[in-house]
Structure 1
Amino acid sequence: MPATFNHTIIAAEDREESARFFRELLELSEAPSWGPFTNVQLADGVLLQFAEPPVDIQMQHYAFLLDDELFDRAYQRLCDRGVEHWADPQMRRTGEINDEHGGRGVYFKDPAGHAIELITRPYV
């Protein structure tokens, strides 16, 4: 069997809030959770496991590939909620999206302060 990506643990100050944020933004279903994890499952089976670590949270970057229709809905939800967002990872083009790599993209921070990117076309 070839290697595939299975799960990642995402540090969150409030694991329930972070999981709910991603479920609502990306239109994901709830997944069974256990122990210190509140889980969200992507369509390809990958689990995002939110946990409240006993240490300071360091910002990480997570990028999600969406089709155009889901991107439009997710972007509208960001705007409706007043989530600050940028067209670039340097956070200089506030309130914009980009049209790089033949698609569209946007950057913002999740409730735990992680840098999130939504794109409609893969980079490679």
Structure 2
Amino acid sequence: MSVQLNHTIIHSRDNRESATFLAHILGLEVGTEWGPFIPVETSNGVTLDFATVPAGSITVQHYAFLLSEEEFDVAFAKIRAARVPYFADPHGRHPGEINHNDGGRGVYFTDPNGHGMEIITRPYGYQEPGAE
């Protein structure tokens, strides 16, 4: 078997709110709560397990999601409709903009806990087939 990421735990103040927020933006389903976790599974089988922890114990993390052009359009429309601040860069220097890195589109936003979320349509370092 090749090595694959199976799941990761995302700390939150309210696991239901956080799971619902991200699932809504990405067009995913919120899974059934089990133990302290509310899972959201991505299309490649990686599960994001949201866990409620005390607010002071949350270490802000970064999560990037690769989407198709169509999925990006839908997710970006949801970000804008929800009036979630977004940026073209991870440092927030370009508010209200998207980027076009690696020939695609990308945008950064934060979830209700301050985690940095990113949606992109091309992986970092992507080159069109045949381009040199």
TM tier relative to shorter chain: over 0.9
Separation (CA, whole Å) in 1 of partners of 2:99 and 2:115: 19
1:113 aligns with 2:96: no
Map of 1:47 onto structure 2: 47
Unaligned runs of 5+ in 2: 126-132
> Shift of the alpha carbon at 1:30?
2.8
- Secondary structure of 2:76 counterpart: helix
Q: Which structure would you say has the larger Rg? A: 2
> Shift of the alpha carbon at 1:66?
0.3
Map of 2:24 onto structure 1: 24
CA shift digits 1:5-63 (9 cap, x unpaired): 10000000110000001111111123233100001111111100000124521110000
Tell me the C-alpha RMSD between the 2 structures: 1.0
Q: What's the TM-score, normalizing by structure 2?
A: 0.90
Give the share of equivalent positions with the same residue, in percent. Answer: 50
Aligned length: 124
> Where do 1:1-124 residues align within 5 Å?
1-54=1-54, 55-124=56-125
Q: What's the TM-score, normalizing by structure 1?
A: 0.96
Separation (CA, whole Å) in 2 of partners of 1:114 and 1:2: 29
Q: Is the 8 A contact 2:38 2:50 kept in 1?
A: yes
Unaligned runs of 5+ in 1: none
CA shift digits 1:59-118 (9 cap, x unpaired): 100000000001011101111111001001111100000001110000010011100110
